[in-house]
Amino acid sequence: MLSPFVQRKVAMAFYKYDQSKNGLLEKEDLLLIGKKVAASFGFKESDSKYQEILEKYTLAWDRYLSAADTDGDGKVSLVEFLEARANMDSSQIEKNLEYNKYMFDCLDVDGSGTISFKEYQISLKALGETNEENIKFAFDSIDTNKDGTISRDEYAKVRSNYFNSEDIEDPSKWCYGAF
Ligand SMILES: [Ca+2]
Ligand SMILES: [Ca+2]
Ligand SMILES: [Ca+2]
């Protein structure tokens, strides 16, 4: 059973991903985010880079998020999403890193192996965060070694804390935008 604080964080992430606002997560939501991100980078539908970004979001659904669809109806309800998070073991670092890979790849639009401030900013804006200061605060708190980029390890750490930490002061709660 997740604590009320963790439930709140999980639900917040769920509703940010639910772009069609029907209360369910579907592949379509991931594609909507991918399309916003691709458009923000100035790519057009006919560009190969645009299709490449959509492919990353498709993989994030197929290989990661859809695993929470336990009743197999093609949609993830909030209950299913909460259950999937409750079953996520923070000690299974390797498994979490593997899951994180698909979300990380979505954010690492240019495939450089790190998430730049611009990549993070565009992703958060696609999820509905518009306040630049909030985005900067979130980015700086994830970039723990202060090299100006988010590494795979830094990203895995913040997602693990987001979905597991009971510390209400921990800034990881900001990783999807203002908390
Ligand atoms: Ca379902
Ligand atoms: Ca990058
Ligand atoms: Ca860093």
Whether 149 shows a pLDDT value over 90: the answer reads yes
Q: How far is CA 141 from CA 13, 18, 124, 138, in A?
A: 18, 25, 14, 5
pTM listed for this prediction: 0.93
Among the bound ligands, the one closest to the CA of 81: 1
pLDDT value, residue 32? 98
CB burial string 13-29: b at 16+ within 10 A, e below: bbbbbbbeeeebbbbeb
| Per-residue confidence band for 179, with pLDDT thresholds at 50, 70 and 90 | confident
Query: pLDDT tens digits, residue range 16-25?
Result: 999 999 999 9
Mean pLDDT of 29-48: 98
Which ligand number lies closest to the CA of residue 141? Answer: 3
Residue 48 alpha carbon to ligand 1 centre in Å:
32
Residues 32, 41: Cα–Cα separation, whole Å: 14
All structural domains of the chain with their residue ranges = 4-164
The reply to whether CATH 1.10.238.10 applies to domain 4-164 is yes
pLDDT exceeds 70 at position 86: yes
95 Cα to the center of ligand 3, angstroms: 22
**How does pLDDT run across 112-124, given as a tens digit for each residue?**
999 999 999 999 9
- Burial zone of 58 (CB within 10 Å; 0-12 exposed, 13-18 middle, 19+ buried): middle
